[in-house]
Amino acid sequence: MLTPVPLTPEISLHLAAPHRGLFQGDFTSDRPPPFWEFAWAGGQGLARYVLDHPEVVRGRRVLDVATGSGLVAIAAAKAGAAAVAATDADPEAAAAARRNAEVNRVALAGDIGQPDVVLAGDVFYTGRVAEQMTATLLAARRAGARVLVGDADRGFLPARLFERVTQYEVPVPPALEETETLTAIIWEMRNTMRSPTNNL
């Protein structure tokens, strides 16, 4: 159902009904759950930050990794990014992001080359995924991109690599999170270029 996102009501997404949890509906053991049907707290916080600080993306090439519903990518496009690409390991998520972009009257690019800004919401939710995403984001940062992350304190973010920017209290469906609000923290990845005083 097409629903305004609680923290970014200027964006509407095709989302699961509020009473539905992640493992309800068409989920089966041989098919991953549809993460993209939910506006996760970290993504909501990051989208709000981008909309409130459009100078972060305005006129720049932006890549939203693990886009899910496309919320953060849509926020970047609305904030004036020159071009926005959205990637996700799940082909259904990438398709959902394109559908959601269309209903919000913005376009997502297929390829933008080397991004100026990389955005990532809710990507540190297991140890294995966190390792993969850390490597991806470090590579982007070392290539010169500004990297911003929205995280709802899932426990796997490598905080030593980031500086805390701000935080938001995000309304979330109790059926999904077993609570009514979560704190989404916005982090910016530090300069990780190797130097005599920086051995990351």
pLDDT in tens, 22-65: 655 554 445 566 889 999 999 999 999 999 999 999 999 999 99
Query: H-type helices in the chain, by residue range?
Result: 41-52, 71-78, 91-103, 127-142, 174-177
Does residue 166 or residue 199 have the better pLDDT?
166
| pTM of the full structure | 0.90
Tokens linked to 77? 């496009």
Give me the mean pLDDT over the 156-184 stretch.
94
139: CB partners within 8 A, 6+ apart: none
Residue 120 has pLDDT above 60, yes or no: yes
pLDDT at 145 over 90: yes
Token digits of residue 54 = 């459009």
If one compares 174 and 19, the residue with the highest pLDDT of the two is 174
Q: Confidence class of residue 174 from pLDDT cuts 50, 70 and 90?
A: confident
Share of the chain above pLDDT 90, in %: 78
